[in-house]
Amino acid sequence: MPVDKESILTIDDLAEYLKISKSSLYKLAQAGKLPGQKIGRHWRFHKDAVDQWLKESALDKRRLNK
């Protein structure tokens, strides 16, 4: 089954997509707070997993603020 190359993001792609710094992304990924995989020295992220993570993070914040 072919993978849509748009669905796999590099750290540069993800930084642009989320509008945050690469250093922040590295910290989140290394701490296991951001869904991603390290392949060799490079991080790769599934866009769908990142989108789901964003939704869940927003829900968690709303729950804490109640």
Domains of the chain plus CATH, in order, are 5-64 (3.90.105)
Q: How many residues does the chain have?
A: 66
pTM recorded for the entire structure: 0.80
pLDDT over 70 at 60, yes or no:
yes
For the segment 5-56, what is each residue's pLDDT rounded down to a tens digit? 679 999 999 999 999 999 999 999 999 999 999 999 999 999 999 999 999 9
pLDDT of amino acid 1: 46
Q: CA–CA separation, 31 vs 46, rounded Å? A: 17
Tell me how far apart the alpha carbons of residues 37 and 32 are, in angstroms, rounded to a whole number: 10
Per-residue pLDDT, 21 = 97
Structure tokens at 2: 């072919």
- Can you give the C-alpha Rg of the chain in angstroms? 13
Within 1-66, residue ranges assigned H as helices are: 11-18, 22-30, 47-64
